[in-house]
Amino acid sequence: MSAQPAVRIQGLHKSFGRTEVLKGIDLQVKSGEVMCLLGPSGSGKSTFLRCINHLEKVTAGRIYVDGGLVGYAERGGRLHELPEREVSRRRADIGMVFQHFNLFPHLTAFDNVALAPLLVKGEDRRAVFDRTGELLKRVGLGSKQFAYPSQLSGGQQQRVAIARALAMQPKLMLFDEPTSALDPELVGEVLAVMRDLAESGMTMIVVTHEIGFAREVGDTIVFMDGGVVVETGVPREVIADPQHERTKAFLSRVL
């Protein structure tokens, strides 16, 4: 375990116009830790993830991944946004899996996974192709490499999306409610891949309503509401004995 946190968030604020969505978030994620974010819709969880990946620009505060700012350089105590090329280079260390897969419909599963390492990193084709085949086998889709998204179930598409993120060999994986768009019978196959990834030591931040997954796989639970961190702690303790009334009310509805 590295002494330096994998992710360090300091005083994070994010506003859209006059609407303040994040109101001063301070968090740290250790290397190899699985942090699960819980909270009602509109609490700021997805915006928080998108700020880490610089898909949203921060209004104030600092986000460090592996010791470095993502998307910004700091000069004279002020943040200056980096050119898009440099942003993309830093973002390549952060894999993200969305609710709705976002696969290219005209590309096969294999090509969806291989595309970014070839175009963004300019890696050797043979090395990328070998890794792509292994990743698709890892997520249980070795026999579906040349299927198009329309030929795959939702759970299979989400597993391709996870393989695609892993193809960039990220240091951090972000999951934004990865099972929320799936039929209930398909949820388990995606959670199984995520569980395997956690066991391999990947640092993960997971926005989820899957309380069982958070209890079994998470190292830390963070409960957010109204753009702030309301409660944080060890999953079994937070779920069994929440201390804050808002956490108690939320868990009573979802359990």
| CA separation for the pair 132, 110 (Å, rounded) | 7
Residue 41: phi and psi, rounded to 5, are -60, 140
| CA separation for the pair 71, 209 (Å, rounded) | 29
| CA separation for the pair 226, 42 (Å, rounded) | 7
Residue 252 pLDDT > 60: yes
Model pLDDT for residues 183-197, shown as the tens digit of each residue? 988 999 999 999 999
Nearest alpha carbon to residue 49 among 29, 68, 30: 29
Burial, 113: exposed, middle or buried (Cβ in 10 Å; 0-12, 13-18, 19+)? buried
* Contact status, residue 187 vs residue 159, Cβ threshold 8 Å: no
C-alpha angle with apex 241: 240 to 247, nearest 5 degrees?
A: 100
| Helix, strand, or coil (residue 250) | helix
| CA separation for the pair 28, 31 (Å, rounded) | 10
pLDDT confidence of residue 4? 86
| CA separation for the pair 55, 254 (Å, rounded) | 29
| CA separation for the pair 2, 204 (Å, rounded) | 15
Model pLDDT for residues 5-61, shown as the tens digit of each residue? 999 999 999 999 999 999 999 999 999 999 999 999 999 999 999 999 999 999 999
Residue with tokens 């009602």, as numbered in its chain: 40
pTM: 0.94
Residue 134 pLDDT > 90: yes
| CA separation for the pair 123, 41 (Å, rounded) | 39
Residue 109: phi and psi, rounded to 5, are -55, -45
* Contact status, residue 38 vs residue 221, Cβ threshold 8 Å: yes
The strand pair at 220-225 and 228-233 is best described as antiparallel
The strand pair at 203-207 and 172-176 is best described as parallel
Model pLDDT for residues 54-104, shown as the tens digit of each residue? 999 999 999 999 999 988 999 988 889 999 888 888 888 999 999 999 999
CA torsion sign for 159, 160, 162, 166 is: positive
Residue 10: phi and psi, rounded to 5, are -130, 115
Residue 1 pLDDT > 60: no
